[in-house]
Chain A
Amino acid sequence: MSSPLPTTIDTEHPAVATHGLHKYYRRNRALERLDLTVPAGAVYLLVGPNGSGKTTTMKILLDLARADEGSTTVFGLSPISDGPLVRAQIGYVPEGRIPGYEWMRIDHLLTHHAVYYPSWDEEYARSLIAALEIDLKKKFQKLSKGEARRVQLVMALAHRPPLLLLDEPMDGLDPVVRDRVIEILATHLAETPTTVLASTHHIQELEKLADHLGVIREGILLAQSDTTTLHTRLKRYRIEASSDWTAPESLAAAIVRRNGSGPELALDIWGEEAAVTADLAGSGSTVRQVAALNLEETAISLLSEPETVS
């Protein structure tokens, strides 16, 4: 039984494209046959449990890690053979802190960082520092997790790179700052043509910015699509059916998630709404409601797909 979920994204202008990436850390699978496509200008959310390969994927794009097999391009360039050119176009908020720079004062750290980027926009950096209430006189090692995050966001945004890699950008931030960061990102996208690849456990916060979603588990990309397609094709059907009701054959592979065992059932089904509704009605059930899923529900639903035997 093959899954109907979309795993490829068609685009003439991919900002990021990986083909068949394999990566093992000793015997642990980090990535398997990863074909990730981020169209230019997209805001792509990569979602999955801890250890599912999100950070490894970003590191490969920066050549901070190398795949065992497969190929990667960033704006058509290889991170391996064109490393400096690729990295110059990327703003990166890493998952952890910045090793090696803990002793630096923030103002010195930013000055040092700016030198590497000809496109550094000092005026913009200042406005971000003010908006994120960063204390420039502190040493990096004295910063809390949230304070370090804010500094890392300035470092990533202020040179207005064509590609932003944000690894858990909301981690450690308080609710007010999180809201401000979203506002900053929305404004940034309006002012600067940017492609964003972000991993997050806080889907709801980035949902309104995202236009693509990728769902990854144990190194395998279960699905990736633009959010409009997800919104229209994956729906939650609330039905009433007798306890011996079974799903019609036509829908067997399309039911992504199932809740309840009758007489009321909630089924997340992939497909064209009218056809699915007709199939459900034809199987002797009453369809009470067809509801769209928000992005978090969508991700949870897609991640609940049973392990496929490959």
Chain B
Amino acid sequence: MPIVFTIDPADARPIYVQIMDEVRRGLAVGTLAPDEPLPSVRQLAADLRVNPNTVQQAWRELEREGLIYVRRGQGTFVAETVRPEHERRTVSRHVAERALRDAFRHGLTRDELIATLEQLEPSGTDITDETEKRNTKGADR
């Protein structure tokens, strides 16, 4: 399977939504392409240690949205008609909404958040774990 599904029980999103979002993430980053197979319900349930009904629910919703389809006896596949660009925009909106909610919890406005985003390194490659980064900074001082 080209994509590794990751879910987090502590996440506010229900698990079936996280599984749906993982498919969108795969399409957005390109590890999943139109017409490629998705894992079986049994396989993904075992891998993620989740109730098979939860995987079933995610597949059902994605099918309803037209992102995936079931080929009788062969399994579940990404729809040919999927446009990864469109999924990129959806993923982007979700990430932005989460960031905005987090900003508001910290008493920050949208403009403050945007201003800070623009000051950040534009590389997009700084993926160090946040705690790690803070610890290193502390050691520098």
Contact = CB atoms under 8 A, between A and B. Distances in A.
27 contacts: A43-B51, A179-B49, A183-B49, A186-B46, A186-B49, A186-B50, A186-B51, A186-B52, A187-B42, A187-B46, A189-B45, A189-B51, A189-B52, A189-B53, A190-B41, A190-B45, A207-B9, A208-B15, A208-B51, A209-B50, A210-B51, A211-B51, A288-B105, A289-B104, A292-B13, A294-B10, A295-B9
Interface of B: 7, 9-10, 12-15, 41-42, 45-46, 48-54, 101, 104-105, 107
A251 interface: no
Given A183-B49, A208-B49, A289-B105, A190 B9 contact: no
DSSP class of B's interface residues: helix, strand, loop or mixed? helix
A133 B52 CA distance: 25
A231 B15 CA distance: 11
Contacts of A210: 51
A191 B48 CA distance: 16
Nearest to B107: A288
A151 B101 CA distance: 48
Contact of A238 (B48, B49, B105): B105
Contacts of B13: 292
Contacts of B101: 289
A210 B14 CA distance: 12
A204 interface: yes
Contacts of A211: 51, 53-54
A204 B51 CA distance: 14
A50 interface: no
Give 7 nearest A-B pairs by CB, closest first: A190-B42, A190-B52, A289-B105, A292-B12, A182-B49, A208-B50, A186-B45
B52 A208 contact: no
A291 interface: yes
A294 B7 CA distance: 13
Contact of A208 (B9, B105, B107): B9
Nearest to B12: A292
A259 interface: no
Nearest to B48: A208
A55 B9 CA distance: 27
Contacts of B49: 179, 182-183, 186, 208-209
B51 A291 contact: no
B42 A191 contact: yes
A204 B53 CA distance: 18
Nearest to A296: B9
Contacts of A310: none
Contact of A231 (B7, B14, B48, B53): B14
B46 to A, nearest CB: 5
A191 B42 CA distance: 7
Interface string A280-310: 0000000011011011000000000000000
